[in-house]
A and B are shown apart, each in its own frame.
Chain A
Amino acid sequence: MLVYLIRRLFILLITLWGITVISFGMLHLAPGGPLSPLTEFNPKMTPEFREKLVKMYGLDKPIHIQYWNWLKGIVKLDFGRSFSLDQRPVWDKIKERLPITLLINTLALILILLISIPLGVLSAIKAGTKTDQVLTFFTFFGYAMPSFWLALLLMMVFGVKLQILPISGLHSVVGYEQMSGWEKFIDWVKHLLCPLFVATFGGIAGFSRYLRNSLVEVLHADYIVYARAKGLPERVVIFKHALRNALLPMITLLGLSLPGLIGGSVIFETIFGIPGLGQLMWQAVMSRDYPVIMANLILVSFLTLLGNFLADLGYALADPRIRLGEKK
């Protein structure tokens, strides 16, 4: 296990380094250089002031030194200052938004598991029947559904037609301060229902399909035939013998689905006006706020990497074949 852990950590470090190199490279490959949003179309920009900016951002130094200084900053969570009018430190902007995005995605992930596991099991037990076909069709439907359109439809039906759910923001604007704790909570829940639905919908399809296929395969294994021949009730065979093994690959899938989940935040946060990381990213792209864009990109890829790493560890802990098989 220790050898496995060290090997994984080594790969983690290399990947981490690669992420920073690619992100740094992108920043400097920008047409007009990383300062172009500040200097272009700015009537007050004189060559002298430009030079001062170049000095301030250290752009006059050789590229590897720039990279090193930039990296030192990142380790201390210093991503520089935003190009926007408020010029706040980038990390401050991210800090206040990160919890919202993490909360919604964690809730979505829990919901996805709660819904897709029973669906996958049902589909696998009934493999080949009408139920399975309907569920399979639903899966493809889930894959093909454009999440932003789903969000739009939800807004139209629940917000405009039925007028039972708010369609924008994280909580009410009017009267929020006067609410009691419980009312505030209900207000939050109401605002989060639609975004959560959108975040969850696409994931259910992938997870339940994956579990179905994995379970169908396991149900053909010798030890399942044996368990049945032993006369164990079907319930025990499926939930105790088969499901446990079929769930193993789901740990990896959990790690692999992180980028998709976080990426989805951009879409539903922008549409529903939720002040999270995704919305920040979108706003930064619209105003070409390079420091914020880069910090966001690095942060979400670090999160993804960390998620994958934890998933790998979890898998190794759960499945001895992985950690012991590494030696060959």
Chain B
Amino acid sequence: MLRKIIQTKEGLFSAIVLGILVLTALLGPILYPYHPYEINVEKILQAPSLKHPLGTDLLGRDLLSRMIYGARISLQVSVVAVGISLIIGIFLGAIAGYLGSWVDQTISRFIDIMLCFPTIFLILAVIAYLEPSILTIMIVIGLTSWMSVARLVRAEFLSLKEREFVLSAKIYGASTFRIIFKHILPNALPPILVSASLGMGHAILIESALSFLGIGVQPPTPSWGNLLIEGKETMEIAWWLSVFPGLAILITVLAFILLGETLQEILNPRKR
């Protein structure tokens, strides 16, 4: 599978970017000499140089070390958020598609209702009641982004449940639960994988936007989004603080989107 992914230009790009990202998030803090919280008053707002490749911020902290730490946060948030949305989306989509009738009606209506709330407004409304923290953000993003997964899984189940292997499973007496999760679900995985990849990009975008608006990850914990707050305050004198964190977000999200696109092409050759 990985070999197929890196055979396309887009796939290769996303594999490289995401590979580097995961490695930096895991190993960066060990290998890189500067600490993200280390304040150094003698090095305030230094432009990028050999010693500090991406420059330093208002408190003399090294920007690259803060971005490496931010990569951890972004990946952590998006993995958990997408995990939550997949669990809810697959469960609701599967039972709606397989059971049909009033279960399907109820769940489909519920999805329609949830889709009427603009995501950002819904997330803001929920966050207003809770203390902003990394945990809150992950859960809230997960709870507000399962609808597209549910729709997709439902559509897959609608067509898969008519297939013969489901009938044969029924004949030898498999339970409904077993048919849904053991027999049909594995066959519905390809589109779920695509949507998970797109979901990762989406979650990173939302997390960084919320952090930038001051209601996501709270300073001093660095996240790509809240690093840009400082960038905004100092944009007249320190361009690097506004440019690099945003670039990191853009490239990472692009990689996830292109990965999703590549997966789509590999797993679903009909669409080509």
Contacts and interface: CB of A to CB of B under 8 A. Distances in A.
Nearest to B113: A18
Interface string A154-198: 011000100000000000000000000000000000000000000
A236 interface: no
Interface in A277-299: 281-282, 284-286, 288, 290, 293-294, 296-297
A145 B113 contact: no
A140 B261 contact: yes
Interface residues on A, range: 35 or more
Interface residues of B, number: 45
Contacts of B121: 262-263, 266, 281, 296-297, 300-301
A295 to B, nearest CB: 11
Given A26-B129, A156-B239, A290-B128, A259 B116 contact: yes
A29 B239 CA distance: 43
A19 interface: yes
A314 interface: no
Interface stretch (B157-165, B177-185, B246-254): B246-254
Given A22-B113, A260-B118, A267-B209, A146 B246 contact: yes
A14 B242 contact: no
A301 B117 contact: yes
Contact of B118 (A15, A156, A285, A304): A304
Contact of B250 (A15, A146, A271): A146
B203 interface: no
A153 interface: yes
Contacts of A14: 109
Given A147-B209, A285-B124, A288-B128, A152 B118 contact: no
B213 A270 contact: yes
A282 B124 contact: yes
A140 B257 contact: yes
A162 B257 CA distance: 33
Interface of A is mostly: helix
Contact of B116 (A30, A149, A294, A301): A301
A116 interface: no
B95 interface: no
A266 B124 contact: yes
Contacts of B139: none
A23 B129 CA distance: 13
Interface stretch (B25-33, B38-46, B58-66, B227-235): B227-235
Given A156-B239, A290-B128, A262 B118 contact: yes
Contact of B130 (A31, A267, A286, A304): A31
A308 B118 CA distance: 13
A322 B118 CA distance: 27
Contacts of B205: 144, 146
B198 to A, nearest CB: 9
A290 B214 CA distance: 18
Interface string B173-202: 000000000000000000000000000010
A210 interface: no
B18 interface: no
Contacts of A293: 124-125, 128
A315 interface: no
B246 A153 contact: yes
A156 B250 contact: no
B264 to A, nearest CB: 12
Interface in B208-244: 208-209, 212-215, 225, 228, 231-232, 235-236, 239, 242-243
B119 interface: yes
A146 B109 contact: no
Nearest to B251: A144
A215 interface: no
Given A285-B124, A285-B128, A19 B257 contact: no
B151 to A, nearest CB: 12
Given A296-B121, A304-B116, A149 B249 contact: yes
A148 interface: yes
Contact of A19 (B117, B242, B253): B117
Greatest chain A CB density within 10 A among B110, B120, B253, B258 is at: B120
B209 A148 contact: yes
A83 to B, nearest CB: 11
A143 interface: yes
Given A152-B235, A156-B235, A304-B118, A294 B125 contact: yes
B209 A18 contact: no
B126 A26 contact: yes
A267 B212 CA distance: 9
A305 interface: yes
A286 B125 CA distance: 10
B103 interface: no
A22 B121 CA distance: 13
A262 B122 CA distance: 12
Given A31-B129, A146-B209, A262-B121, 5 more contacts: A152-B228, A262-B118, A282-B213, A285-B127, A290-B128
Name the 7 nearest CB pairs between A and B, nearest first: A149-B246, A18-B113, A263-B118, A263-B120, A259-B118, A144-B253, A144-B254
25 contacts: A14-B109, A18-B113, A22-B114, A140-B254, A141-B254, A143-B253, A144-B250, A144-B253, A144-B257, A146-B246, A146-B250, A148-B209, A148-B213, A152-B242, A260-B118, A260-B119, A262-B118, A263-B121, A264-B120, A267-B209, A285-B127, A286-B214, A297-B121, A300-B117, A301-B118
